[in-house]
Structure 1
Amino acid sequence: MTLLSDQMPCRYVPILAIRPAEMKALEELPEVDKDSMLPLILIRPWLSANTLSKSINRFKEAYGETRPWLADIDPFYAAALANDDDDDDEADPKKVFSEIEALQDPANGYSNWCAFIEADPRAIPCLRLDPNNINALTQEIITFSAMQRGICLRIPRAGFGGIGQIADILNAQNVTSVLFILDFEQATMNELSNAAAAIGLINTIKGKIPGAEIAISATTFPDSFNGLKEQAIAERGFFSLIKAQLGQFRLIYSDRGSARAEKRTGGGGLPPPRVDYPSFKNWYFFKPEKIPTYQAAAKAAMTHKSWEPKMKIWGTQMIERTAKGDPYAIVSPVRSTATRINLHLHHQLYFDDPPLALQEIEDDWVD
């Protein structure tokens, strides 16, 4: 049995979508890292697969079969489905489309979603939230409470105003094993400069459910890199600001693993070669203009003041191999992104104890 309370206090709750770069980055993390985090996985179709089982299989391949995880549905994929005006069932034959739609059906207290979660004993459910359908939400809570795994709520900014109502519904069902993730999603540096709103939400939750766990999540990873050589990881600074004002109150860090929260749109063709190197508090971007190759970018990363030669995980090995001209290292945007995410996850996991990030990892590395 997987109880949410058994997984806390975890140090880190990254929010990752089932996309190639994120899954490769997760797969190549040291096993001890995977044991120390509790990822929230945004379920979406895997590449061109026709069934949702392919997505789950890819995630399990990356993360393992025995570790607990928080299960949610990618909201941007759901929005794309909602905007589909084509009534011709033959227009898109992929079974996966109807599978994801079924998981979001509120009928019988979101019975399809509940059955999906129940089938995986290591999955901890994120509620499908519709405060306008209290009967369905209440039945969903009753069903998940009976599974005794705990309940997670990932609440985007648009839903912050309904937090009090949702907490009341949970409280009415005597739910105590619950994790609230306040998801600021894609945010600007300025949007994360004031902690007052987040602290108000935290106080609302704790006032209604004193035993609730709370995580703060956001991402400020940039969309444009013109002239940008480095950027502070503002989501970490935002978290630290809130934590400092709350004193000894326990708060869990969450982010998007250095990925964007929204799908990038517009612009064709491949971006110019770029290698990113995360530290604990900053991202550094290397995009040589005179020699626009991944090899040149990797060499620049390794000679930068931020480079940590003692850190030996997959991400650093990928940059080292690329700098040597290895044709099987970073040769595409997906590989470059996976390398950055792998390093970012490792750094943020050990943010409060940096020497642990440099410990020797005994995992056998295989590409």
Structure 2
Amino acid sequence: MRTLDFKSFPYVPALRSRDSEKLAFQSLPESYQNRLLPLVTLFRSGNGTDFGMPLSKATRMVGGRPFILDIDRIQAQVSRTADQDIIDAARAFNSTLNALTAPTGGFSAWRDFVDAVPNAVPCAVIGGTVKEFISQVRAILASKGKIAIRTSGSNAEMEHVLAALRAVPDVTDVLLIVDLGDVRGRVARAVQVFEVTRSRLVAALPLDWPFLSLVCLGTSFPFETPPAGVTPLDIEEADVFDAIGGFAVAQYGDYAGMPVRPQKGGGMGYPRIVGPTDREWIQSRGQNIGALKEYISCADELKKAGWANIPGLWGSDRIDAAAAGNIANMGNAAKWLAVKMNIHLYRQLDRVSALAETPQPNAYDDEMPDND
């Protein structure tokens, strides 16, 4: 892990510890899996009381490959009218979450947790005092050699982040992920947030900031269900990346075609198939809730709209099979989420790899310190 070169990974997709993400990632060609550095966030599994199952899913997803390990810090919420065992499980989970992310001992509980995962680059837990946060970062670097820090760029978080970056021996051991969240309809605002964050890095680390690995992360896939029929949707996080200066400034990150918060994978919603392209998601939605056979018509309409398949890729082959009338083992939304993510990851890795190999001007030569 100590020899890991963050800059050798042009694409850092944010995934979750769920079966859909696991299927999507593992169904990529092995050569593609090897070229990704996924940021995997542990989410509560069902009515679980701890992070044992989510961690197991995350490690099985990536195999022995390096990955960034983060944890969702949203407390479990249940209705007061829920069964008592569900309420008790939620309380137990929240207690586990609080203990795991407590700043005590420089976040020792979180450090012990991630130390047990040899191929994981830990994502620092932002919280506690600045001193406690710096202690966490230094201790993780001492034990793992590498660390990731994920920030929204808020003032409160950046106070911790900048202090820690000043305190580390070598910023090349840090991957700083600027998570812009949902950027749909707010590309200009997202670019501004990123630029302000980068400007603060330049001011705080005048000599070191060019050597820091920086990821621009965001998503524009909406929560809302599209209208029936075929609807194209721009991938606006790609627009944000272009606007900040592309690979001259940062590495590319997205949510693998998912919203900021997870969609439920089961359910009896409208049948929907999404066919990703380089810069669009082509959505094909059925007419009737729970009508599983409409996955066939969704796939057929998607292909009629001109969506181009990728022969031999698992997700693309599932769409081809559905268009031909075969939806065996594909009769639920979770499988079609995996199809979307599988194709999205494949196409985005191809796209951003080509961009990364194109000579890029140094967009900020004028910000480098003078040598005299």
**Do they fold alike, i.e. is TM over 0.5?**
yes
> Are the equivalent residues in 1 in contact too, given 2:275–2:281 (CA < 8 A)?
yes
Q: Does 1:226 align with 2:227?
A: yes
> Are the equivalent residues in 2 in contact too, given 1:41–1:72 (CA < 8 A)?
yes
Q: Does 1:199 align with 2:201?
A: no
Partner of 2:248: 249
- Which amino acid counterpart does residue 183 of structure 2 have in structure 1? A
Partner of 1:108: 105
Partner of 2:362: none
Partner of 1:59: 58
Q: Does 1:239 align with 2:241?
A: yes
Partner of 1:174: 169
How far residue 171 of structure 1 moved from its aligned partner, in angstroms, is: 1.0
Partner of 1:74: 72
Partner of 2:88: 92
How far residue 43 of structure 1 moved from its aligned partner, in angstroms, is: 0.7
- Which amino acid counterpart does residue 132 of structure 2 have in structure 1? A
How far residue 166 of structure 1 moved from its aligned partner, in angstroms, is: 2.0
2:11 partner SS: coil
Partner of 2:134: 138
Determine the C-alpha separation between the residues in 1 that align with 2:297 and 2:217: 34
Q: TM-score, normalised on structure 1?
A: 0.83
Q: Once the two structures are aligned, what percentage of the paired residues are identical? A: 21
CA RMSD of aligned residues (A): 3.0
Q: TM-score, normalised on structure 2?
A: 0.82
Partner of 1:361: none
Q: Does 1:302 align with 2:303?
A: yes
Determine the C-alpha separation between the residues in 2 that align with 1:60 and 1:253: 23
Determine the C-alpha separation between the residues in 1 that align with 2:86 and 2:22: 31
Q: Mark the runs of 5 or more structure 1 residues left unpaired by the alignment.
A: 356-367
Partner of 2:151: 155
Determine the C-alpha separation between the residues in 2 that align with 1:39 and 1:221: 18
- Which amino acid counterpart does residue 218 of structure 2 have in structure 1? A
Determine the C-alpha separation between the residues in 2 that align with 1:352 and 1:169: 30
Query: In the alignment, which of 182, 200, 203 is matched to residue 186 of structure 1?
Result: 182
Give the 3 Å change call, closer, same or farther, for CA 16–192 of structure 1 in structure 2. Answer: farther
Give the 3 Å change call, closer, same or farther, for CA 326–160 of structure 1 in structure 2. Answer: farther
Give the 3 Å change call, closer, same or farther, for CA 344–115 of structure 1 in structure 2. Answer: same
- Which amino acid counterpart does residue 127 of structure 1 have in structure 2? A
Determine the C-alpha separation between the residues in 2 that align with 1:351 and 1:256: 16
How far residue 173 of structure 1 moved from its aligned partner, in angstroms, is: 3.6
2:12 partner SS: coil
How far residue 162 of structure 1 moved from its aligned partner, in angstroms, is: 3.8
Determine the C-alpha separation between the residues in 1 that align with 2:56 and 2:112: 17
Give the 3 Å change call, closer, same or farther, for CA 187–230 of structure 1 in structure 2. Answer: same
> Are the equivalent residues in 2 in contact too, given 1:4–1:124 (CA < 8 A)?
no
Determine the C-alpha separation between the residues in 2 that align with 1:89 and 1:330: 32
Residues 308-327 of structure 1: matches in 2 within 5 Å?
Answer: 308=309, 310-327=310-327
Aligned length: 341
Give the 3 Å change call, closer, same or farther, for CA 192–326 of structure 1 in structure 2. Answer: farther
Partner of 2:331: 331
Give the 3 Å change call, closer, same or farther, for CA 33–201 of structure 1 in structure 2. Answer: same
Determine the C-alpha separation between the residues in 1 that align with 2:47 and 2:87: 15
> Are the equivalent residues in 1 in contact too, given 2:295–2:327 (CA < 8 A)?
no
